[in-house]
Structure 1
Amino acid sequence: MAFFQSKVFTNASWLLTEKILLTGSGLLFVVLLTRHWSVEQVGDYQFVLAILALLAPFSSMGLNSIVSRELVLFPHRTASILGTALVIRCSGAAVAMLVSALFSFWLVPNELFYIFLLLLLAQLSHGFYVIDYYFEAHVKSKVSALLRTSIGLLMLLVKFIWVVNGLGVVGVLVITAIEWCLFALAWVGVYYFFHQPKPAFEWSSAQAKLFLSKGWWLILSGVASIIYLKIDQVMLGWMQGSEAVAYYSLASRLSEVWYLFPGIIVASLYPGLIKAKQLADVYQIKLQQICTLLCWMAVLIAVVMTMIAPILVEQLFGAEYQPTVLILQIHIWAGVFIFMRALFSKWILIEDIPKYSLLTHGGGAIVNVILNFWLIPVMGGVGAAWATLISYAMASYLVLFLCKPTQKMGVIMSSSLFAPILFIVSKVNKLLSK
């Protein structure tokens, strides 16, 4: 009972409620698009969002969990921690915007070129999202959840109304740009409201050096991560066209909708794991328990989704989206490694070995790009799904055994993957020893 009354449980409950509401309504919006737009329009929309997603590491600059950890350990430096992180994030987003604007001449369809430039400009506002980690560090995710839910649902309602009334791809993307800027203003507002005394964002050269010395590994890692998470849709659009992107993006959405669970669980337990690091035995037990829980949650989800995929896809999107079924049945199994990866991403920060995030993500990105070049021309979206599954397994599990510092987590993941077998073996040994 004590756990259910704890701040960790309350924090996780708010995050879970928020993610369920936003993810559920987001899925309904995609269903709406399949009913009102052509397959090509759905593909164009998802293609632009996939390209923009490639820029996400530059608006975070690898600082997310580092900022949270700094705020937990040094709450008296809140103004300089957030202010410095904000400047670094906005600077990274600005550089990425300029580079992407140049490449957009070759990647983005002519009819979406100008709205793409508007979205690049609006993405500068993502730097302000760093304020979210202030509330995460103080285990007050109720505030963040209410903010994201209220604005997210409001803007989705606006999109719903306009799509039903004939709004096309460009119109929905304009609303998306407005939404991003609205979020930035809201984050600043709630920070000034809740933090007492009223703070000013401050720049600290010493803090910047710390962030960049520890964060540049995570910046490169983030680039590699987003490549193997989103490059499949970009490559599909480039090599196969909008229809292939539409089928694949719907499958990945149904698969990735479950990824909210490991993020919520690990984010809520992260402050406790930082403190448990001082107690070696307790720390290892907690890591193993969390990893096993994440692993078998993912396996259960994958089994169920594989079985119901044919019915689910037809009921949600219609018979014309039948190619989505096989893609989903393959893609969903990548979640097993993504669930465990959520814990690994926090563990490397607690262990202060962020460079290994780059090693794992980099390995996955290279494998994913190579496999996509090989499999997409032959198998289309199905090939991209296999490339995703294999690269996720490489990046989140197999690569860990290549370096001694990460082998500990590789062993923990192996114990989680084979937990039922290990359990049965232990029971048999006990019976034989009697």
Structure 2
Amino acid sequence: MLSKIRTLKNHQGFMRYFKNTSWLFGEKILRMVVGLFVGIWVARYLGPEQFGIFSYAQSFVGLFAAIATLGLDGIVVRELVKDENRTGELIGTAFWLKLIGAFLVLIILAIAVNFTSNDSYTNALVFIIASATIFQSFNVVDMFFQAKVLSKFVVYANIISLFVSSIVKVVLILNEASLVSFAWVVLFDSFVLAMGFLYFYLKNSTLSIKHLKFNKSTAVDLLKDSWPLILSGIVISIYMKIDQVMIKEMLNAEAVGQYAAAVRLSEAWYFIPMVISASLFPAIINAKKQSKALYYERLQKLYDLMVWLAIAIAIPMTFLSDWVINLLYGEAYHEAGGVLIVHIWAGVFVFLTVASGHFLIAENMIMKAFYRNALAVFFNIVLNIVLIAEYGIKGAAIATLISWIISGYIYDFLDKKIRFMFVQKTKSLIGYRAYLFLKHRKS
């Protein structure tokens, strides 16, 4: 074991990716701890009803927010890894495309709110929060540093934004601010993060702003590759947020607050597969250049890691859910415990879905990501209609769990071209490789 550790420490490629992943993990863990602490304080301060309205507004914006990204993130990182000489045109073109996408989101929202039962106050919250997508165009800097495996600069920007945001929220709570003030903080957060990205890019890149130019042919090429991801992103956004929107329409704002409290705790862990997959994405692509055997071996190891991490989170949260909710949110959120018991297990299939999504991008099977997510959304909406009416907010959690199983696991079996992924994921779920390891140790 010590010999292997020494070998890995001397392996430049491994250490490069390990340090990059460590930076990302450190930032996300800090964000989870600080964000949860402040977020829970906000939830306790607002109470279930106002927190429900706030969560609903964020969820409603979330239904359309994927349009602003235009599915470009993974595609741009892939192209930057392939050809560093195109960095200026790729980053510049992606920025302008994302900015156009952000304004498109605002136009769509202006139409969509007319089909809801929202009052003018709730709609005001929606548009304030939605305006943050304009500044999210600056996350093209994140793509640049991902491709360079230099995520520490992204971490710096995120930490600055996190602490500024947290201080502002605490000040608002201490001064008994209104709900709309917290919506303005969402917009302010996005602005601070954008300025942080811009600062670290200018400081650490040899390319100046004038080199980041929009290229029409590059834009067309990127959109040709990314349009399935746009559709998939929209579907995922609906998938992740429709439950809270439906709870508001079918029940009330307080029920949304109860449900959102549990979901915030459950989804707080979703950064883990995103960080690991994003950081290892370049390494997985490079493995394909060496051999298919190494490529699939790394993919299997990634699935194994995803499953065991998710289970390690789900088991204690299952037994401690009521205690955790009462400790963090207080007795006012007493219904959230039952939701958390169910919702936390969706994480197993969320982790697998995120990991396999990067494989689909690498193999240019982007439409399959859309198909599986569309199938899951269909089941999620249908199940929500039935189960929310029957079981309330716990029914929404059951619908989420079933739909993630369909998306992250069952769909692979239904598609012949990626059925091998179903086999790989099954091995991870049943601990097959752990069994082989223990068997080998005994022999």
Give the TM-score normalised by structure 2: 0.93
Aligned to 2:28: 19
| Alpha-carbon offset, residue 189 of structure 1 | 2.7
Where in structure 2 are the equivalents of 1:86-165 lying within 5 Å? 86-107=95-116, 108-165=118-175
3-state SS in 1 of match to 2:105 = helix
1:34 paired to 2:46: no
2:128/2:183 contact within 8 Å kept = no
| Alpha-carbon offset, residue 373 of structure 1 | 1.0
**Whole-Å Cα distance in 1 between the matches of residues 207 and 35 of structure 2?**
37
Aligned to 1:83: 92
1:370 paired to 2:382: yes
Where in structure 2 are the equivalents of 1:17-416 lying within 5 Å? 17-107=26-116, 108-199=118-209, 200-278=211-289, 279-416=291-428
Residue range with higher mean Cα deviation, 6-15 or 30-39: 30-39
**Whole-Å Cα distance in 1 between the matches of residues 298 and 437 of structure 2?**
22
3-state SS in 2 of match to 1:392 = helix
Unaligned 5+ segments in structure 1 are none
**Whole-Å Cα distance in 2 between the matches of residues 321 and 399 of structure 1?**
35
**Whole-Å Cα distance in 2 between the matches of residues 3 and 177 of structure 1?**
43
**Whole-Å Cα distance in 1 between the matches of residues 18 and 66 of structure 2?**
29
1:112/1:170 contact within 8 Å kept = no
1:8/1:139 contact within 8 Å kept = yes
**Whole-Å Cα distance in 2 between the matches of residues 99 and 317 of structure 1?**
34
Residue range with higher mean Cα deviation, 73-82 or 51-60: 51-60
Aligned AA (1:166): E
2:266/2:343 contact within 8 Å kept = yes
Residue deviations 1:30-64, cap 9 Å, x none? 22123322211111111111111122211111111
- Cα gap change, 1:401 to 1:79, in 2 (>3 Å): same
Residue deviations 1:256-314, cap 9 Å, x none? 11111111111111111010012111111111111111111111211111011121111
**Whole-Å Cα distance in 2 between the matches of residues 290 and 38 of structure 1?**
40
**Whole-Å Cα distance in 1 between the matches of residues 278 and 436 of structure 2?**
32
| Alpha-carbon offset, residue 187 of structure 1 | 2.0
Aligned AA (1:226): S
**Whole-Å Cα distance in 2 between the matches of residues 350 and 123 of structure 1?**
27
Residue range with higher mean Cα deviation, 216-225 or 177-186: 177-186
Unaligned 5+ segments in structure 2 are none
**Whole-Å Cα distance in 2 between the matches of residues 378 and 399 of structure 1?**
27
| Alpha-carbon offset, residue 252 of structure 1 | 0.8
- Cα gap change, 1:196 to 1:389, in 2 (>3 Å): same
**Whole-Å Cα distance in 2 between the matches of residues 267 and 158 of structure 1?**
30
**Whole-Å Cα distance in 2 between the matches of residues 197 and 364 of structure 1?**
42
2:35/2:162 contact within 8 Å kept = no
**Whole-Å Cα distance in 2 between the matches of residues 122 and 326 of structure 1?**
33
Residue range with higher mean Cα deviation, 2-11 or 374-383: 2-11
- Cα gap change, 1:270 to 1:395, in 2 (>3 Å): same
3-state SS in 1 of match to 2:149 = coil
1:45/1:169 contact within 8 Å kept = yes
**Whole-Å Cα distance in 1 between the matches of residues 183 and 230 of structure 2?**
27
Residue range with higher mean Cα deviation, 28-37 or 62-71: 28-37
**Whole-Å Cα distance in 2 between the matches of residues 325 and 118 of structure 1?**
31
What is the percentage of aligned positions where both structures have the same residue? 31
CA RMSD of aligned residues (A): 1.9
| Alpha-carbon offset, residue 414 of structure 1 | 1.1
1:356/1:406 contact within 8 Å kept = no
